[in-house]
Amino acid sequence: MTKEEKYLLARWAMEHAVKNGAQQASVIISDNRSNSIEVREQKIDRLEQFNQNSMSIRLFVDNKYSSHSTNRLKKEELAGFIEEAIAATRYLSEDEFRSLPDPELYYKGGGPDLKTTDENFEGIDPQAKIDAAFALENEAYGKDHRIISVTASYYDGRSGRVMVTSNGFEGDTDNTYYGLSASVSVKGENARPESYWSENAVFYNQLKKSGIGEIALKRALKKLGQEKIGSARLSMIVENRSAANLLNPLISALNGSSIQQKQSFLMDKLGEKVASEKLFLSDDPFIVSGRGSRLFDNEGLAAKKRVVFDKGVLKTYFIDTYYGKKLDMEPTSGGTSNLVFETGQKNLNQLIASLDKGILVTGFNGGNCNASTGDYSYGIDGFLIEKGKIVKPVAEMNITGNMKDLWMNVVELGNDVNTNSSWLTPSILFKDVDFSGI
């Protein structure tokens, strides 16, 4: 379905909803295509292809709200679908806070090209994708007698959508992604550690296609001999690719739904210092080819660059239209785009060298964080550091504490940003973290 055809169908669906009793309506027509290939034991273990067009519609009927979706896009079927959805909405309870955004807050067009689409997506040879997966597997397969299994994967996708609302918004997005990953498990004396590595990109010709299997194997072998150490309060370095696990509760605490439902440990903290002065974090939707780049959000609100934490001071929440009305706050956006840290001067190896004793965390194994209080407990994998050097691998240990204390105890941020995510996390050094072991 072309972009023009999507717009025509979205406008028709929106108008049909309004003619049949909806005071307001928002329609999204989208198409999603993806491919995934997994190889194991020198054979294709899984090959999948997905292709779907769909419509989602948000209805505002007599102060009542509902949302519906379907992948049956013929007008004669959609007409009945929309009419039945409107009729069903009338049975719901009223909610005075439900409405489309203020049109003044919509994206009005004319924004920069954020280059989020590889126009050659359809032209990539399928055999090249299969070969890329096998090449990754071969980087590790048979390279060490302790290997139990090697799995390698290729995946890609393209998603396009148009959105039309009854109060004047029209906009469209188009995104592509490509990825490769490898996972390796090895046999030790008392355990079977495993590790993985992955790379992704917006453009196929920018995707790193070699070395991934080798890295996964090396990371798995380094885990051999893992053991607990004694419980202690130590410095902790969290590797850049794992730092998002600790950032997630912090960002979740800024969501409008959490704040309104009083399930946020950062409720009523705007303008207060809630983290270390080392934490300067911004939400930047305008990074060219960024994983989360956008000109407008899921409601059509115009994207803006915002400071989230300024030297530890909380500057903004993530508020959509609904929770903005319930909280009597100006909508900002219901979610993040690209989260960008102000980084430090040291890479991971230099951070390690700076510690007399601590633990480098390379992965988290379960655990949780209480959204209301910020209390957390997580299982970790990693390495003991002594006198600036990695001494041995550790596992089956937990970290416990409170998120507010943890983020107040940020000592330094690395310069090794993880560019494989919309959350551009560097490695982070925390002090005084409680580790539970023997």
pLDDT at 209 over 70: yes
User: What does DSSP assign to residue 102?
Assistant: P
User: What does DSSP assign to residue 345?
Assistant: S
Q: Is 412 helix (H, G, I), strand (E, B) or coil?
A: strand
pLDDT of res. 61: 98
Are the CB atoms for 290 and 284 separated by under 8 Å?
A: yes
pLDDT at 59 over 70: yes
Domain boundary among 183, 203, 221: 221
Are the CB atoms for 348 and 414 separated by under 8 Å?
A: yes
pLDDT tens-digit map of 380-425: 999 999 999 999 999 999 999 999 999 999 999 999 999 999 999 9
Are the CB atoms for 344 and 430 separated by under 8 Å?
A: no
Q: Is 139 helix (H, G, I), strand (E, B) or coil?
A: helix
Whether residue 318 is found in the same domain as residue 393: yes
Whether residue 208 is found in the same domain as residue 234: no
Whether residue 24 is found in the same domain as residue 167: yes
pTM greater than 0.75 (yes/no)? yes
Whether residue 151 is found in the same domain as residue 17: yes
Query: What's the helix, strand, coil split of the chain in %, to 5?
Result: 25, 40, 40
Whether residue 90 is found in the same domain as residue 231: no
Whether residue 258 is found in the same domain as residue 279: yes
Residue 153 one-letter amino acid: S
Domain boundary among 199, 221, 243: 221
Residue 192 one-letter amino acid: R
* Residue 17: Cβ-neighbour burial (10 angstroms; 0-12, 13-18, 19+): buried
Whether residue 137 is found in the same domain as residue 255: no
Domain boundary among 221, 244, 271: 221
Whether residue 266 is found in the same domain as residue 282: yes
pLDDT tens-digit map of 348-358: 999 999 999 99
What is the longest distance spanned by two Cα atoms in the chain? 73
Whether residue 297 is found in the same domain as residue 162: no
pLDDT-derived band of residue 190, with 50, 70 and 90 as boundaries?
Answer: confident
Distance set, CA 184 to CA 141, 187, 225, 227 (Å)? 9, 10, 16, 20
Mean pLDDT in the chain? 97
How far is the C-alpha of 153 from the C-alpha of 303, rounded, in Å? Answer: 34
First to last CA, the chain: 60
Percent of the chain with pLDDT over 70: 100
Tell me whether strands 423-424 and 339-341 are parallel, antiparallel or unpaired. Answer: parallel
Domain enclosing residue 267, as ranges: 227-438
Whether residue 334 is found in the same domain as residue 204: no
How far is the C-alpha of 418 from the C-alpha of 424, rounded, in Å? Answer: 5
Number of domains in the chain: 2
Residue ranges in 20-125 assigned as alpha helix (H): 75-89
pLDDT of res. 249: 98
Whether residue 196 is found in the same domain as residue 240: no
How far is the C-alpha of 430 from the C-alpha of 278, rounded, in Å? Answer: 11
pLDDT of res. 191: 82
Q: Around Cβ 371, how many Cβ atoms within 10 Å?
A: 19
pLDDT of res. 438: 62
Query: The tokens 């070395």 sit on which residue?
Result: 211
pLDDT-derived band of residue 1, with 50, 70 and 90 as boundaries?
Answer: confident
pLDDT at 145 over 70: yes
